[in-house]
Structure 1
Amino acid sequence: MRLMSADVSNLPLGSRVVVRWRLPAPDPATGATLTDAVGTLVARDDDTLQVETSRGLVTVELARVEAAKEVPPRPTRRGAAHLAVSIEDLQRVMTPAWGAVERSTLGDWALRASQGYTQRGNSVVPVGSPGRPLSDAVDDVEDWYAARGLPAKFALAGPEGFDPGDDPLGALLLARGYSVGSRTLNLTADRDTIAAADPGGPAVVITSELTPPWLEAYRKTRATVEGATEAVLRDSPRVLFASITPGGGLSQQLGLRASDAAGTTPIAVARMGIGAGWAGLGAVWTDPAYRGRGLAAHLTAALAARLREEGTSLVHLQVEHDNTTAIRLYRRLGFDVHSSYAYLTQG
């Protein structure tokens, strides 16, 4: 079970955490020897960490930490937990779920570069303040990407169907000649709802390792960049790779061709990146010859069920707004539209 760990070295500064630690002496009122600090991790050194809680700043000696983990941002509105998070906070929790070869920050903004492999891996998440005037911040972003031979690209978020020109940053980028493209929906759901919608199917293999057969199948889904693709797929705080591979008694069940039944390359794959108290589903693919058999739904539900071992209960995914087939699948599994974003790319 990976619910909590005493190792706090991988907890990102700025994330919301719960830290359980031993008190110097039992609480005189209750006799308790342990207590929890819940809030934002604001500092950490070789001896202590500091958590900004609702009651103020708490400093904890690392030697007293019993367990700690990231937890989702505090809800900002009523409703189901997967819909109660703000648009900005959802952008924050989505950021570690998809990898990058290189990451940097500009104030609160997150910059990612991956040799051009995927838009998410080569774009800015402009959430919060960049720590300087917007125009200066955009100049700095453009310089950062130019140094890597890439155009600047911003993932600008808003409600479903929002107009980027109504956002101050969006208006500035449009005035600079940026183009709008790849409008994407953010879908969210509860882990147990997805797991309960499993249509059933063949055995699903889930591993934390990026295996050659999984990667071979993934390369059929899109153009890849040697080295960068592997780095992006591995670069999340915790990653799960799921696959369905032909063999055993699956030939008759799936109607496999004789050549496929003997193979080791998966006929369906999916990836889940876990970070910031959420899990992000991506890289879902089924061999065209075996679509319509519920394999994508089965893989997704199996990954959701596995999240119980990870102590993670909320799931997000991104899907292009006009991909009606995928949206219909995810809605059947219990996903709801939370928000959206559009890429604004330097011309």
Structure 2
Amino acid sequence: MPLVPTPLDAVHLGARVVVRSRLDPLREAPHDGPSMTDAVGTLLSRSETEVVVATRHGDVTIPVDRIVAAKEVPPRPSRRGAAHLAVSVDDLQRVMGPAWGAVERERLGDWELRASSGFTQRGNSVLPVGSPGLPLSDAVDRVEQWYAVRGLPAKVALAGPVGFEPGDDPLGAELLDRGWTAADRTLTLTAATGTVAGGPATAGPTDATARSAGAEPEVRITPDLDDAWLDAYALSRPLDRQVAARVLTGSPAQLFASIAVGGGLAQRLGLDTPASRDPRPVAVGRLAVAGGWAGIAAVWTAPAMRGRGLATRITRSLAARAGADGIRLIHLQVEADNATAIRVYERLGFERHSSYVYLTAPRG
């Protein structure tokens, strides 16, 4: 099953899309020429009978019954260079927003307010890209009120170049003046999916031992979130299972990867865990598709299995699956002080694109 959602109703308005449609044989299609055409641009509107795409040559209205295929594609590059680095900070934030679900999403102008009962900072913060449609001070008032109603601290994910200072941004300065605190700087890393998926895998002790035993642990990838995957992920952080499931399945499309070790293989690896009797995931990861990009998240390995290359294998396997479905660009987020993870991802071909900082309102 392809990752890219083909129904146009799975794509949000304002996204950049390519829509392939049949030409009218009586008016548009030449007798001996092409019978189809592509419209590339911003999805302006859609109805039961037609969609409108803003292209470089003007708005194009396409009858729904002539659409052959449609998909969301990455934003236009904002500068020269490798495609994964040429996208602007704001456009990449727009791409990453839908790649992590939220129980509630509400618009404030161009900003997006997200709430998920406190599960993850991404799922409970404002994505402040574009204009809120209000004076900045009034917009922050609305944000504080919105989160207060939900019993959550108001939080904003403020993005900028790697190492930027929040106080140099007008919104950051406004929040800091109000007593908000800045913490949890996160790096956004990007790459070409082919780079991450290709090349010889980094073989840790688990890989080497398993190969010598003739039973290398398999990376299982499924579009469905199952209990075993969620059980493993729950070991990485406290969570409400119902809320977490809604967030983890809240993207336009997602895949869940896991490596389970059990039976004789677990014994040969010297694992004295319940997994030796009943195979259970000891490493997991998630990939989501939005904005024409793939996004890696929720990568976790059981403490007893770390340093054995499992996270690398999961990341490469997910990137390979995305690449097989025609997705050429990939992103992930990692805490800026997690030097070990950053080294792993940079060895895989990821590069530092930008960063963001969470600013949180004072309680009460």
Shorter-normalised TM-score: what interval?
A: over 0.9
1:199 paired residue among 184, 202, 214: 202
Separation of aligned partners in 2, 1:250 and 1:175: 57
How far 1:31 sits from its partner (Å)?
1.3
Separation of aligned partners in 2, 1:88 and 1:258: 45
Paired residues, what number? 347
Q: AA paired with 1:109?
A: W
How far 1:142 sits from its partner (Å)?
1.3
Match of 1:121 in 2: 123
Separation of aligned partners in 2, 1:258 and 1:344: 40
Q: Percent identity?
A: 59
**Once the two structures are superposed, what CA deviation does each residue of 1:140-182 show, in whole Å capped at 9, x if it has no partner?**
1111111111111110000111010000011011111110010
**Once the two structures are superposed, what CA deviation does each residue of 1:60-79 show, in whole Å capped at 9, x if it has no partner?**
01111000000000011111
CA contact (8 A) 1:273 1:280 kept: yes
**Once the two structures are superposed, what CA deviation does each residue of 1:26-75 show, in whole Å capped at 9, x if it has no partner?**
53386111000000001111111110111110010111100000000001
Separation of aligned partners in 1, 2:327 and 2:265: 31
CA contact (8 A) 1:6 1:66 kept: no
2:45 paired residue among 40, 43, 46: 43
Cα RMSD of the aligned pairs, angstroms, is 1.6
Q: How does 1:24-39 map to 2 (within 5 A)?
A: 24-25=24-25, 26-28=28-30, 31-39=33-41
Separation of aligned partners in 1, 2:300 and 2:180: 31
Match of 1:236 in 2: 251
Separation of aligned partners in 2, 1:294 and 1:38: 40
How far 1:260 sits from its partner (Å)?
2.1
How far 1:226 sits from its partner (Å)?
3.4
**Once the two structures are superposed, what CA deviation does each residue of 1:126-148 show, in whole Å capped at 9, x if it has no partner?**
00111111111111111111111
CA contact (8 A) 1:18 1:38 kept: yes
* Unmatched segments (≥5 aa) in structure 1: none
Q: In 2 relative to 1, CA 231–3 (structure 1 residues): closer, same or farther, beyond 3 Å?
A: closer
Secondary structure in structure 1 of the residue aligned to 2:255 = strand
How far 1:281 sits from its partner (Å)?
0.7
How far 1:253 sits from its partner (Å)?
6.1
CA contact (8 A) 2:197 2:317 kept: yes
CA contact (8 A) 1:185 1:337 kept: yes
Secondary structure in structure 2 of the residue aligned to 1:227 = helix
Match of 2:9 in 1: 9
Q: How does 1:180-199 map to 2 (within 5 A)?
A: 180-197=182-199, 198-199=201-202
Separation of aligned partners in 2, 1:23 and 1:42: 21
**Once the two structures are superposed, what CA deviation does each residue of 1:247-275 show, in whole Å capped at 9, x if it has no partner?**
36633664433642222320110011111
Match of 1:257 in 2: 272
CA contact (8 A) 1:216 1:265 kept: no
* Unmatched segments (≥5 aa) in structure 2: 208-216
Find out whether 1:216 has 2:231 as its counterpart: yes
TM-score (normalised: structure 2): 0.92
Q: How does 1:135-146 map to 2 (within 5 A)?
A: 135-146=137-148
Secondary structure in structure 1 of the residue aligned to 2:145 = helix
